[in-house]
Structure formats: C-alpha cells, structure tokens
Structure 1
Amino acid sequence: MKKFITGSLLLLVVTFLAACSTSTGGQRESLDIALWDERADDAVQASIEAFKQEHPDVEVNVTYTPFADYWTRLMTSLGGGSGPDVFWMNGPNFYQYATQDLIENLDSYIEADSSFSKESYFPAVVDLYSLDNNLYAAPYFVDSIGLFYNKTLFDEAGIDYPDETWTWEDIERVGEELTDPSNGVYGYMAHVARSQPGYYNMIHQAGGYIISDDKTTSGFDTPEAKEAFTFLQALIDKGISPSIQNQIETEPKQLFLSNRVAMLPEISVHVTEFQAELGDTFGVAPLPKGKEEASIVHGIGWAMNEKTDDKDLAWELIKYLSNEDGNRVIAETGFSIPAIQSLSDVFKDYLPSVDLQVFIDAQETGVAYPVSKRTAEWQDIETKEIQSAFLGQQTIDEALEKIGAGMDAILEEEQNE
C-alpha cells in the first residue's frame, strides 16, 4: 500500500471517515450506513424509519458515495479501523472483504434469530455472499439482464418486437434491418466495454463459462468464448453495433436514451430510469438465446463492519433493511427485484407497461455473477486485453489467450493462499 495519498484522494478519504466514523467508547447512539446509489434512498429511508420506531434514541446517518470512489474510501476507512457500521457489498469485492476479516460473519446472529431465514431469499444471492457456508451479507435485492428495446424504432421499421423465441440469428437479422447509418441509428449494442450486461452473458449462451465452478480455471481461452466474441465483432464490423471507441466515448445507455440504439442488453436496476425517460416507447424482452439461455444474475447485500462498536444494534438495522418489509419497499419503489423470492410479484406489478417478469424468470435460469478471491485482479487483465483487441491492437484469439493465462495464474495463487 502506498505511504502517500494524493491531495484529491486524501480529501475523499477524510470526508468518508468523517461521515462514517465509529464511536470510540461509551453507549452507542448512532449507526452509519454507506452505499452508492441514491435511487435507493426512498427504500432505505423507509427501513430506517421502521428501525427507529423500535430504537428512537439511535441516530442513523446515511452516506452516498459515487461508485467510482466507493470502494477506495470503504477499504481505506475499514482498513484503518473505522468506517461505516453497515454498508452495501457487491459480488466482485465480496471475497476480498470477507477473507481479510473486514466484514462480520452473520451466521451466529442468524442462528439466534428465528425472524431471519436464508431460505426466504433467492439462492443465487445467498450463495454469492457465503463463504464456507457462512453468510457475510444479508441479501437486499437481485438483478439480472434483459433486452431493452425502443418500440418506436421497431414500429417505424414494421418489425415485431423481440420475444422469448429470439436467438443470436435474430439479433443479427433484425439488428441489420434497424440500422440506419444516415440517421446515426444502430440496431444493437454489442457490449464489449461492459461485462455484466454484455459478453459475460454471451459466453454462457455459447455454452461456456467465465470461471469454473471450483474456481480453478478461466473460461476465456475456450472455443465458446471465442465464438461469443467473434459474434460481437461481426456485429460491430457490419455497423449493426457501435464500435468500442464509440462505447468508450459515449455511454451505451445515452445512445439508447437518445434513440440512436434500437436494442440494448441492460441490468434490471435501470428499468425505472429508462421508462421514466422513454415512457411507452420502452420495452423489455428476454435475452436472445445462443446454444443456451443465460442471463447474469447478481445482487446487493448489507454487510456489517467487523469492528463496529455495537454489533447487536448493527444486526438489528441490517434486519430492518433486508427483512420482508425492507424488501417490499425496494420492490414497491421499482428499484429492483427484492431478494426475498415471495415478493417478486410486487416488483413485477410496479410498471404494468413493462414486462418485468423477464427479470424474475432469469433468476431461475440465470448464471451467478463470476467471482473468486481476487476477482478485481483478473478483471483488470480481462478489461485491458478485450479493449486492446477491439481497438485493433491484437486479435481476439491473442487477447483471450492472454486473459486465460493471466486468470489461471491468479486462480492458482488463490488455491495456495
């Protein structure tokens, strides 16, 4: 770890520490929460109000930090023995925090509390935040990937909307029909700069995998991964999709919201935002199939600072955030699919004009977001080499070979740690 911190980073860290410091003694009178998405504020505040009815003397402070800065601030504060009491955890960072004893093992609290049952939640998100069968983050909401589409562009071209029968061939065929270079309209967004809504899904749809089930082998240097990336490259070469340079320069979602992309694979948490922008023009369908159906499934959990002063009180707050009422509120606000399976219909009914069942169905046939102890390290290699290939600096085969070798080396080191 570097001994010196730049001025801007120091300011960010000091701000985070000030907002999320733990008390150093005496009776606990406040709890600090940290997360990154202010769109969840209504749901979070509703759970806090319910918690304060039982704990009126406890002040709960919420800090929202942009995702780009969130993990740096969180790691710095927790590593220094401070930080928020309760905070959002995601899959790519989970193993690092759990194995470095930065977050509390929740199983002892769960075993002593009959009101919390792991079986109530979608298994994928419980597995995502479990280590050695112990849960380290209480499931809050889940997400999956669907095909967002612009009804107006389909209507103008006289083309039927996508449905559950679609395959990769339909992406290429219809995408070509919808592409209109004279008006700067692309038929489809072939994500090569974003993994979760893009190529992760397509590798699995080709019959491959990102990481083996035993977390020892990369799936990038395989025929299935090559098939997926070759298909994405063909869509770009034919002008059906923006190039990676376009995707880096202009966010794919902005291209879609400005009616310049007809079809966009995207994460369920963006549904309300897109529907608010596009209204009845906006539609959602299942991801088109390759050899198999596949949609990457992820979710967010509430973790507890291992060094929080009052762990029982922090657990009480986590329960209010992740229990049935907390999950119901996250569904009623339309933010995302509640992690409690029985509340799926609450989310589905939030926007009758959009087929939200697509994302619920994906929980049954979806593929868990790929993680290992050092996810961030091999994802850095992955991003660098894929961007290099699609910028024309090397072939796809060369890039995938480098990712596979680099990832396998990291996974081997993980096994020996």
Structure 2
Amino acid sequence: MNQTSRGGTYRMPAKALPALLVFILCFAGCREPQSEGTIRLRWVTDINPAREKQIQLFRKSHPHIDVFVDQASGGSTAKVLIQLAAHAGPDLIDIYSPENLAYFAQYDSLLDITDMCSEARIDLDMFWPQCQAWMKHNNRIYGIPTNAGTLVLFYNKDHFDEAGIEYPDETWDWEDYLSAASRLTKRNPDNQRIERYGCYPNEIRPLVWQAGGHFWDENLTTCTLNTPQGIRGLKLFYDTRILLKVAPSLGDEQSFSAGGWGGGVFGSPIPLFATGRVSMLDMGRWGIVTFRQYQKEQKEAGLPPLRFGVAPLPRDATRATWFLSRSTTINAETRYPRECFEFLKFLTTPEYNHLICQAGDGIPSVKSIAESDLFLRDPDYPQEDQNHVYLEDIPYGKVFRVPSDIKAAEYQKLYDITVLRLREGTLTPEEAAEDFTSQVNRAIARNRGQNEI
C-alpha cells in the first residue's frame, strides 16, 4: 500500500494494514475534547517523568495551550509513521537520530520552521554545532534541540581512594584505564569469585574512533569497520570482558540479574555502577538521574551513598567521544503550527534549560545557558562539582550517522547482534569486524535507493 501525503510516499507493508485500521478507529473514537479557548497539542516523546515538569512550566506562560504526552506511542517511530500515514499524527514529534529527521523530512512530514526561526531570532549558533544533525535537512530547519550530551567516564571515588589510585583526568589513555581496571577488580579471597569489576566499556563507537577507526567512508556509502584501527577499538571492548576479566561478560551480567547480585537489571549497567559492583562506566550525564535515586535510597537504608566523579573518556590514537541529542519537530499537517512553534521556542528559554540542569537530563543544548552557573554550580547538588567536564568534552564529540541506503532497523539489528556476540565471547574482534562489515555492505547494496526505515 502506498499512501501519499504532501508529496511524499509512505511504503507500508500489507501486514501493517490491520494495525493501521485499528489505530484509525481507536484514535477517532478516543481523541480527547478541547476545553473552550484551549488548544491541545499531542506530543510524541519518551515516557519520562521530567516531561510533566516541562509541560507544567510551559503552561505557566501559555495557559491557552495544553500540551500532553502521547502515552500510546511510547515514542515509537513505527507507530508515529502509521499515524502520519493515516493523517492522524501528533502535533509535536521528538527526533532521536539524524536518520529519523532525514526520513520524516524527505517525505514532507515535518513543518519547515526555517523562516519562523528567523522571525523569532533563533540563531543556530546559539546551540552546540553537533545539534544541527537533529535540526536540519537539506539546509532547512525542522527541529529545536531539547538537550545534548556526550559519553564521559564516571568513576567511583571510594574505590579509587581504597586502591590508592589517582582520579582519572584528560591525560588518561587506554593503558591507564586498563591498569586502573585491573587494580580495581576485586575477588573474594576464599572462592576467587569476582565481587567487583574495575570497568564497564558500554559503547563501541567511541572506542573505534579513539583507535583511529571509522564505521563509514567519507561519502557515507560503505562500511569500513574492518581495518586494523576498527579492530583495535573492538578489541578493547572484548578484552576487558573475555581475556582480562576486568569487566563483566554477558554471562556475568545474567548471573547478577538472576541472583539479584548488585540489585541490577540485566542489560543496564547503571545499577551495577550505582551499587558499587563496577568502578568505572562510560555514560552520558543522564545517568545521574538514576545515580541520585540510588544515593537517596542508600542514605535511607543507612548505607554509604555513591560518591562518583566525572572525567573524559580515555584516549588512544586520538581523543573522541559520542555526541547525542534529541530535538522536537512539528507535524506538517498540524492544525496549530504557530502554537507548536511557541513550544519549540520555549525549549530555548533559560527556564526550560534550567530544568535540564536540575534534573540531570543531559546538558542544555543552548551554549550560553550550559556555560552559566545555572549548569556549572547547582546548589542542590554541591557534591557534583565537575560539570565543567561535560562541556570540555563537547569539542571531541562525534555524531554517529547511518547511511540512507540501509534500513535503520536492519542496521540496528546487525549492530546489536555484533555487540552481543562480543560480550558473550562467541566472536573475536577480528571475526566481528569482518562479519559486521560484510553484512552491512551487503544490506547497503541490496537496499540502495529505497531509503526506508
């Protein structure tokens, strides 16, 4: 089935038709009525408690606009696509990757806000330069960034103090990292069971970049991971778990979850770090939302709360980290474009960005606010005195892109399988690089020109 909307063609498989029909019927029957004089805007975003505070703050200055989170979609791109194809889409759509922005924009699903930004004097230079990947397509503006961040190295200060190791800083390289991880790893003297792991490399992307490798060629048409540099990046991820055993393997994590060891949830390293089972973890600032909750619970239980520090990721051939953002866009078919844009303007205000600072939900995307005391010195969390590290790391942050000639879901599946097999040790770094590169390039050749998610 092909549905054309505003010049774009949605390619929808036949098996999606029942879901589309159900959605149309449900949405038509369940849409909430508007109060007289009040405009209701439906916002597809993640289900995060912070969203309600953001909405309440917006309502204070815009009492005639009622923004509400679309709980039904849960932020799912697939569900949003079905809604857009049915001409029943939300008013506001959050974008989590440059690829999603390009996909929605190329089918004219998003409102071009270039002129509106100019009228409102919203200058792209007010944001971190990497944020433009979540804002622009074909030199036109479609979204306003809601937050930003890079991966940094969180470390447990108590563990470092106990081991007599100096805290990490911008001079650290992989050798320093591995040496510290070895000294921080703690075994039970009776049964030699590992009670604490020294590190948890969480993401492959920055490791590959640090080693001098690349996932793609310059034209973003061919996967180039299978090089000595790319393999070196995979090797650090693999060696810490399988050879050196200073990070938990997949099997170790499963045993933690099954036995309740560390209070963790399988697949999430945050609880392992927060409960002291891992000494170092690469994560964005959004991790402190959970760290703070653990600190609160630890204090209530009479336990010493987590004391963490922040440092840049260790370097290898070069210094690099992963830059991430999120933007909010407007449905091109919304009945309320001006009101939607009022919400996007709100995302640039000190009031909104102060919420980002306080909540730990990444860092403000507006540079001037991130560089102010609103972010750098939070009186509610005086112990978090290293916020400057997040800002100093931004120039080294890279945006990860995926070629348009591979379906995003297909790429993600291949990536996840590769990471999983490295974590469980069923593929060596050399095998993983060769297998991933060949499979991705075959998919690119097969899908070239289709540009589908």
**If the length of structure 1 is used for normalisation, what is the TM-score?**
0.86
CA contact (8 A) 2:38 2:66 kept: no
Residues of 2 paired with 1:253 and 1:283: CA distance?
14
Residues of 2 paired with 1:73 and 1:181: CA distance?
47
Q: Of the two structures, which has the highest relative contact order with CA contacts closer than 8 Å and spacing of 6 or more?
A: 1
Residues of 2 paired with 1:74 and 1:394: CA distance?
36
Q: Name the structure 2 match of 1:321.
A: 347
Q: Name the structure 1 match of 2:435.
A: 402
1:357 matched to 2:374? The reply is: no
Residues of 1 paired with 2:93 and 2:330: CA distance?
7
1:233 matched to 2:264? The reply is: no
Return 5+ residue gaps in structure 2 as ranges: 1-11, 189-193, 258-265, 296-304
Equivalences for 1:157-306 in 2 at 5 Å?
Answer: 157-182=163-188, 184-191=195-202, 198-236=203-241, 237-247=243-253, 250=266, 251-278=268-295, 279=305, 281-306=307-332
1:134 matched to 2:140? The reply is: yes
Moved over 6 A (4+): 9-12
* Partner deviation per Cα, 1:294-321 (whole Å, 9 max, x = no partner): 1100111011112212222211222123
Identify which of 40, 46, 57 aligns with 2:50: 40
* Partner deviation per Cα, 1:64-108 (whole Å, 9 max, x = no partner): 5686x6333323222322132112211153333222332222213
Residues of 2 paired with 1:406 and 1:51: CA distance?
51
- Between 349-358 and 38-47, report the one with greater CA deviation: 38-47
Q: Relative to 1, partners in 2 of residues 1:118 and 1:46: Cα closer, same or farther, differing over 3 Å?
A: farther
Q: Name the structure 2 match of 1:340.
A: 366
* Partner deviation per Cα, 1:245-265 (whole Å, 9 max, x = no partner): 334652211211221100011
Identify which of 79, 94, 102 aligns with 1:95: 102
Q: Relative to 1, partners in 2 of residues 1:158 and 1:49: Cα closer, same or farther, differing over 3 Å?
A: same
CA contact (8 A) 1:208 1:222 kept: yes
| Secondary structure of the structure 1 residue equivalent to 2:212 | coil
Q: Which residue identity does 1:306 align to in structure 2?
A: A
Q: Which residue identity does 1:223 align to in structure 2?
A: P
Aligned length: 404
* Partner deviation per Cα, 1:115-147 (whole Å, 9 max, x = no partner): 322121111011333211112211111011111
| Secondary structure of the structure 1 residue equivalent to 2:347 | helix
Quick check: which one's helix share is greater?
Answer: 1
Q: Name the structure 2 match of 1:49.
A: 59
C-alpha RMSD over aligned residues: 3.2
Q: How much does 1:382 deviate?
A: 1.7
* Partner deviation per Cα, 1:264-286 (whole Å, 9 max, x = no partner): 11111112331442356122111
| Secondary structure of the structure 1 residue equivalent to 2:148 | strand
Q: Which residue identity does 2:76 align to in structure 1?
A: Y
Q: How much does 1:406 deviate?
A: 2.9
CA contact (8 A) 2:135 2:143 kept: yes
- Between 141-150 and 302-311, report the one with greater CA deviation: 302-311
Q: Name the structure 2 match of 1:156.
A: 162
- Between 386-395 and 221-230, report the one with greater CA deviation: 386-395
Residues of 1 paired with 2:208 and 2:22: CA distance?
37
Q: Relative to 1, partners in 2 of residues 1:12 and 1:275: Cα closer, same or farther, differing over 3 Å?
A: farther
Q: Which residue identity does 2:58 align to in structure 1?
A: I
* Partner deviation per Cα, 1:142-175 (whole Å, 9 max, x = no partner): 0111111111222222222211211101111110
1:84 matched to 2:114? The reply is: no
Q: Which residue identity does 1:164 align to in structure 2?
A: E
| Secondary structure of the structure 1 residue equivalent to 2:146 | strand
CA contact (8 A) 1:35 1:65 kept: no
Identify which of 121, 132, 157 aligns with 2:127: 121
**If the length of structure 2 is used for normalisation, what is the TM-score?**
0.80
CA contact (8 A) 2:127 2:365 kept: yes
Residues of 1 paired with 2:450 and 2:78: CA distance?
27
Residues of 2 paired with 1:416 and 1:80: CA distance?
21
1:368 matched to 2:387? The reply is: no
Q: Relative to 1, partners in 2 of residues 1:389 and 1:257: Cα closer, same or farther, differing over 3 Å?
A: closer
- Between 228-237 and 365-374, report the one with greater CA deviation: 365-374
CA contact (8 A) 1:20 1:63 kept: no
Q: Relative to 1, partners in 2 of residues 1:214 and 1:39: Cα closer, same or farther, differing over 3 Å?
A: farther
Identify which of 144, 147, 153 aligns with 2:153: 147
Percent identical pairs in the alignment equals 24
CA contact (8 A) 1:37 1:66 kept: no
Q: How much does 1:218 deviate?
A: 1.8
Q: How much does 1:288 deviate?
A: 0.9
Residues of 2 paired with 1:285 and 1:381: CA distance?
31
CA contact (8 A) 2:276 2:306 kept: no
CA contact (8 A) 1:180 1:186 kept: yes
Q: Which residue identity does 2:201 align to in structure 1?
A: A
* Partner deviation per Cα, 1:166-202 (whole Å, 9 max, x = no partner): 11011111101111132520000133xxxxxx11110
| Secondary structure of the structure 1 residue equivalent to 2:152 | strand
Q: Relative to 1, partners in 2 of residues 1:315 and 1:114: Cα closer, same or farther, differing over 3 Å?
A: closer
Residues of 1 paired with 2:143 and 2:29: CA distance?
22
